[in-house]
Amino acid sequence: MKRKYWILALGAPFWIIVDQYTKYLIRSGFRLSETIPVISGYFNITYVRNTGAAFGFMANADPSFRVPFFLTVPVIALGVILVLIKRLPDSDVKMSTALMLVVSGAIGNLIDRAALGYVVDFLDFHWRYQIHFPSFNVADSVICVGVGLMMLDIINQGAAQAKEK
């Protein structure tokens, strides 16, 4: 089996399991909206149910639109990403890893939406309770890292091509 498929086959289940396990711990150990300070003034664990997308986007949209939308769009995105992985050269470990992370996070959040109707968020960062970043979870984190790796790879490829000219 090609290296890019090994990365996907080993990495995605790992991150999906970590994501689902941490969400299980939050659902089973916290009441909704319960907060435990971890680093006072900066970081809490807070049980939040996010019916929207990242940062609560579309959380207040009509459920007759929102629910099918958030179940359909990730499936389409996963299909597109899997095609990208198939077309990727086997030697491109960085992009394979980046895409695996995005796939892992998308599947983790899709599992929540399909099973619960919302995504469990719990990582709650803020600056002394005045500036508050929206709560997120492991799946969101690996998606962001994956997208960040893709951006760095694209920038590095552009710089290398510019250098060649």
Catalytically active residues are 121, 140
Q: In one letter, which amino acid is 80?
A: V
Is 88:99 a contact under the CB 8 Å cutoff? Answer: yes
Is 42:123 a contact under the CB 8 Å cutoff? Answer: no
Q: What dihedral angle (degrees, nearest 10) is formed by the CA atoms of 75, 76, 77, 83? A: 110
d(C-alpha 77, C-alpha 104), whole Å: 12
Is 51:118 a contact under the CB 8 Å cutoff? Answer: yes
- Cβ of 128: how many Cβ atoms within 10 Å? 9
